[in-house]
Structure 1
Amino acid sequence: MKGNVLITGANRGLGYELVKCFHSNHYQVFPLVRSEEAAIDLMAEYNDRCYPIVADVRLDDCKESIQSTIRNFTDKIDIVINNAGIPGRSRELEKVEPEEISELLNVHCLGVLRVVQAAMAFLQNGDNPRIINVSSRLGSLSKMASAEFRNRKFTYSYRVAKAAQNMLTICMDQEFSKKGICIRAIHPGVFISGPSSLDGDLEVHEAAGHIFRWIDGMEINRSERFIQPGVGELPW
């Protein structure tokens, strides 16, 4: 077995494809999902080295669910992949409800905070511990300020939430590097079938493969902090 990996948002899309990649490459996988039904489906598909966690990263009690499940099988986590996310809705300021921005901040930013807090003791026991936050090019202040996406009409809430997540990543990196824990933000690429598919060039399974190979072979001393695996570094 190569190590233990915790993956949030693991029942579909990129998270599900990451579970497949890591499991098929001999990792022990802890997929975090929101429903018992999703957990049962994963257990039916993988009869070993896969231990689903039923929890909602939007709620504080997810921390106890994460810790109790992991504790049943191991005392260490080597990789945490914060992939859980939801899309925004409103693309014009007049239609943006504060509740929408609050909802996305809770998932993309506070959800990451909760998961990392829950996993910290296990990470400190891990071999080459790594935290990977699945961000987005839309969270880059530099790209937004350059007007690269001026006419694309992306949602306010998603861009704000991913920018906040990026700042959280920077703050954690400045603290955790002293503890030997590597943390990175990644843009997974633009999916052909996704909401940004106007310039999409990747199938989800292809993106998962790029991400797996990058994480599996990470050089923790490299200076890049925000990158697209298989492509290169992005500006904050």
Structure 2
Amino acid sequence: MQIDVTDDASVAAAAADVRAHEGRVDVLINNAGIVGRRVPAEELTGDDTLEVLQTNVVGIVRVTNAFLPLLRKSERPAIVNVSSGMGSFSLTHDPDSVGSKIVSPLYTSSKAAVTMLTTQYAKALPGIRVNAADPGYTATDLNGHRGTQTVTEGTDAIVTLATEGMDAGTGRFIDRFGPQRW
């Protein structure tokens, strides 16, 4: 099914379809993300900002809220928010990190918001594991396939968070190698 995370009706229709056909959701993976216009920082506009935040951050709130009733029907509900090390204050200041070499004000700030949103949902939604995954510098359309990891490697952290037990914890941020610095 198609879903537009920026459209309330689209998200509601997707949740209704899953409710009708599946009855519950065990794992919700929030993976929608855009970079936005690729222009120098001084040319970014408020509208550019709204577009990126609407997809990357507000989309998570919209989809999570629509699917919460279905998650609450699961015995082991989990939410995995796909964030990025590029939203990490530590990594964007680490000269050995790819994230320190890339300038993308809207994408990086949106991913910092995704990670914080994850910690807040982890506190606010008892009984549901809510964690964030950093797929790493993965070769996808988002970066013109310049990433150094395969798509399979990029999904390792997402799969880990989606399949681990309820006792694994909540409010965490990991990449394929383990806990990620914030």
Question: Residue 188 of structure 1 corresponds to which residue in structure 2?
Answer: 135
Q: Is the 8 A contact 1:89 1:157 kept in 2?
A: no
- For the structure 1 residues 220 and 62, does the alpha-carbon distance in structure 2 shift closer, same or farther, using more than 3 Å as the test? farther
The C-alpha deviation readout for 1:124-183, integer Å capped at 9, x for no partner, is 11121000001100111222244655862431110111111112111111111xx21000
Q: Is the 8 A contact 1:130 1:182 kept in 2?
A: yes
Map of 1:80-99 to 2, 5 A cutoff?
Answer: 80-90=28-38, 92-99=40-47
Q: Is 2:150 aligned against 1:208? A: no
**1:220 aligned counterpart, secondary structure:** helix
Question: Residue 20 of structure 1 corresponds to which residue in structure 2?
Answer: none
1:222 is displaced (CA, Å) by 3.6
- Point out where structure 2 has 5 or more consecutive residues left out of the alignment: none
Q: Distance in 1 between matches of 2:24 and 2:170?
A: 26
State the structure with more CA Rg. Answer: 1
- RMSD over aligned CA atoms reads 2.4
Q: Distance in 2 between matches of 1:145 and 1:209?
A: 25
- For the structure 1 residues 150 and 125, does the alpha-carbon distance in structure 2 shift closer, same or farther, using more than 3 Å as the test? closer
Match of 2:85 among 137, 140, 148: 137
Q: Is 2:69 aligned against 1:121? A: yes
Question: Residue 120 of structure 2 corresponds to which residue in structure 1?
Answer: 171
Over the matched positions of the two proteins, sequence identity in percent amounts to: 28
**1:173 aligned counterpart, secondary structure:** helix
Q: TM-score scaled to structure 2, two decimals?
A: 0.86
The C-alpha deviation readout for 1:196-227, integer Å capped at 9, x for no partner, is 866x4311133235532552234533467000
**2:81 aligned counterpart, secondary structure:** strand
Q: Is the 8 A contact 2:25 2:67 kept in 1?
A: yes
Question: Residue 156 of structure 1 corresponds to which residue in structure 2?
Answer: 105
Deviates more, 1:70-79 or 1:218-227: 218-227
Q: TM-score scaled to structure 1, two decimals?
A: 0.67
Larger RCO, structure (CA 8 Å, separation 6 or more): 2
Q: Is the 8 A contact 2:25 2:77 kept in 1?
A: yes
The C-alpha deviation readout for 1:65-107, integer Å capped at 9, x for no partner, is 1221012112211000001111233453212122111111000
1:189 is displaced (CA, Å) by 1.9
Given residue 132 of structure 2, which amino acid in structure 1 is its aligned partner?
A
Given residue 36 of structure 2, which amino acid in structure 1 is its aligned partner?
G
Q: Is the 8 A contact 2:85 2:99 kept in 1?
A: no
Map of 1:10-25 to 2, 5 A cutoff?
Answer: none
1:235 is displaced (CA, Å) by 1.7
Aligned residues: 180
Question: Residue 40 of structure 1 corresponds to which residue in structure 2?
Answer: none
- For the structure 1 residues 67 and 60, does the alpha-carbon distance in structure 2 shift closer, same or farther, using more than 3 Å as the test? same
- For the structure 1 residues 214 and 162, does the alpha-carbon distance in structure 2 shift closer, same or farther, using more than 3 Å as the test? closer
Q: Is the 8 A contact 1:89 1:155 kept in 2?
A: no
Q: Distance in 2 between matches of 1:218 and 1:154?
A: 37
Given residue 120 of structure 2, which amino acid in structure 1 is its aligned partner?
C
Given residue 206 of structure 1, which amino acid in structure 2 is its aligned partner?
E
